[in-house]
Amino acid sequence: MAASRLPPAALTLKQFLRRQQVLQLYRRILQAIRQVPTETDRQYLKEWAREEFKRNKDATDEDAIRMMITQGNMQLRELERILQLANS
């Protein structure tokens, strides 16, 4: 049997795509946070987002990861909605 050329820690395609989703969500959250008008609120939200993602970085259960992505997208939409209301 031929040895695999992939390193032992290589991600499967499914894991790679899920990782890309998580990174995209994180970037979108940080972009939304930049629109928060007060510096203290921006700092608080940035720290909150960083801690949430850091706390869950070792999650491996596919269903749990999908659920966290869904929750993150809902929270992002809520933040964007609040910012839109605040700017109008």
Q: What is the pLDDT of residues 20-49, one digit of tens each?
A: 999 999 999 999 999 999 999 999 999 999
Per-residue confidence at 7, pLDDT binned at 50, 70, 90?
A: low
Helices (H) and strands (E) in the chain, counts: 3, 0
**Backbone phi, psi, residue 36, to 5°:** -65, 130
* Number of neighbours of residue 53 by Cβ within 10 angstroms: 16
Give the Å distances, CA to CA, from 67 to 3, 28, 62, 87: 35, 17, 9, 30
pTM, 2 dp: 0.85
Separation CA 60–CA 65 (nearest Å): 7
